[in-house]
Amino acid sequence: MAADAGAASLSSQRMAPALGPREMEFQMTKATNDAPADQSATPYLEVMPLGGMGEIGKNITVYRYGDEIMVVDGGLAFPDAYQVGIDLIVPRIDYLQQNAELIKGWILTHGHEDHIGGLPYILPRLPRVPVYGAPLTLGLVREKLAEFGLKDGDIDLREADTNAKVKIGTHFGVEFIRMTHSIPDNTGYILTTPVGQVLHTGDFKLDEEPSDGQLSDLGRIEQAGKEGVLLLISDSTNAERPGRTASEAEVARNLESVIANCKGRVFMTTFASNVHRIQNVINIAHRQSRRVVMEGRSMLKYAQVSQGLGYMELPEPFLTNDEVGTLQDQQVLYVCTGSQGQPMSVLSRLAFGNHAKIALRRGDSVILSSNPIPGNEEAVNLVINRLYELGVDVYYPPTYRVHASGHGSQEELATVLNLARPKFFLPWHGEPRHQINHAKLAQTLPRPPKRTLIARNGDVVRLGPDEFKVTGTVPAGAVYVDGLGVGDVSDDVLLDRVNMSQEGLIIMTAVLQPTPHVEIVSRGFVRPNRELDAQIRRVALEAVETGMREKKRLEDVRDDMYGAVRRFVRKVTGRNPVLIPMIVD
């Protein structure tokens, strides 16, 4: 998943010189108008990413042909460090709400949070339409919906295997394609439309040794390429990485080697959704005579859903922490949450000694089988340093090859491009640098796409047999989830939070009767300083008394007090705290 690119300023241009003997052409998009054009008489398809384009996270893509809309995925993203207090980020769906009567169906590619995590916030706000997904994907969606009090009958979930074909409306035919990733039941799809075929890889890597033996269906991609792929939309996450992404089987072998050399208790953390890796660790533990304890809410949730649907098998039942008391340290392996350094996760509480039942000690080993999502590096490093201070043995990449990405590197991306042979190409699922490097890679191949666009969220990409361009924009962006509030925190509120965290807060209350005086309260500004407080009160009071003498409105008096204190504080401290002025008559 994961986190999160800032917006880049991109303008329409032809990129040159060529990479190799031929001209390289790809266009960085700039909308030519502010809205999608009327489709009533023009046979073309519109592709509208509302999330997941130019960023990693909150994936949602909209296709429109005429008076029909089909939607793909509905994910969330996690906040950056500057998004203080925010719990989750979901995509804006204004366009879907404005065109709700046109939505004919929804498809889900897989069960990662950045593809399904936003659905409980999105689906209840739109009409009930068929939502197609593979069994594990829908199992995880049902679990999420239940947490929000939504029942199966509230949402029309329809199971579709990884090679299923479904019809959505009259214009869209969807054929799911099995693609390997870091979660079972992952799919891409071929979308058949009146203008031609669109091939969307979904998240993928071409793992040659997948844990479940289910290889990516490259034969179907090759067949689609021979039939004619008008547009390829492909995963760009690892477009900067040469070669191939390591196989999950290689990670399993490395994990087994590390665990075999651990003398005491083992604590392993990874993404809770990485069902294949957790299954491998369960098998490793069984071979090495260790019993597995699951710790952490999301770990238990994913394990329960996976077991219930037959995607996870247990040689021995999981133990609870209360049941390991009679076992020796070398007989226990904990699988726990905390791969991203989340403050309330099991691993973070262990690292800082805040876990109610478990305490780390010398002789224990901790394995971080993950890489930090961009933005989480500091939190993960903090946990790792604390683990070292406790004297435990710590294993993490890249020193130990105990993790592999779920996304393909350059060689795998090139393989898909060569098999699909698309006329047009839309790099997706990545920050601008990933998209652009993917575009450059495509131009080095024997048969490069005729045109590649670097799109952004909200772009309206018009696609026809001989047309591929951005024609407008629709609303797109972030909706912040903070506690029980959804959308009630804006960027201005976040800016205030950042300013308060960096510069502090001063509240000034001017009481006018019976005698004007000013009281101030400050937090996070400076340590108690009577002289500075008195100076601020004096500056504020002078502004109030001047305004009263001139018979100004109370609003203007308040503004004068604000401006005077702002200038004074900046002059004497060089700081810019958040000021809250109040007048009490």
Tell me if residue 540 falls in helix, strand or coil.
helix
Q: Percentage of the chain with pLDDT > 90?
A: 67
Copy the structure tokens of residue 237: 């996450």
User: Does residue 320 surpass a pLDDT of 80?
Assistant: yes
Rounded CA gap, 254 and 232, in Å? 35
User: Mean pLDDT in the chain?
Assistant: 88
Find out whether 478 is annotated in a ligand binding site. Answer: no
- Mean pLDDT value of segment 85-95: 83
Question: CA distances (Å), 228 to each of 49, 196, 223, 294, 413, in order?
Answer: 23, 8, 9, 48, 18
The whole model's pTM is what?
0.82
pLDDT band at 42 (very low <50, low <70, confident <90, very high): low
514 cis-preceded (ω within 30 degrees of 0): yes
CA dihedral 31, 36, 41, 43 (to 10 degrees): 70
Q: To which H or E segment does residue 561 belong?
A: helix 554-573
Pick 523 or 36 by higher pLDDT.
523
* d(C-alpha 456, C-alpha 473), whole Å: 9
Longest dimension (CA), the chain: 88
According to DSSP, the residues that pair with 193 across neighbouring strands are: 196
The response to whether 407 counts as a known ligand-binding position is yes
Which tokens in the block code for residue 141? 């969606």
Instruction: Give the pLDDT of residue 512.
Output: 86
Question: Among 1, 27, 2, which Cα is nearest to 14's?
Answer: 27
The amino acid at residue 422 is P
C-beta separation of 168 from 130 below 8 A:
yes
Q: Which amino acid appears at position 445 of this protein? A: L
pLDDT category, 284, cuts 50, 70, 90?
very high
405 carries a ligand binding annotation: yes
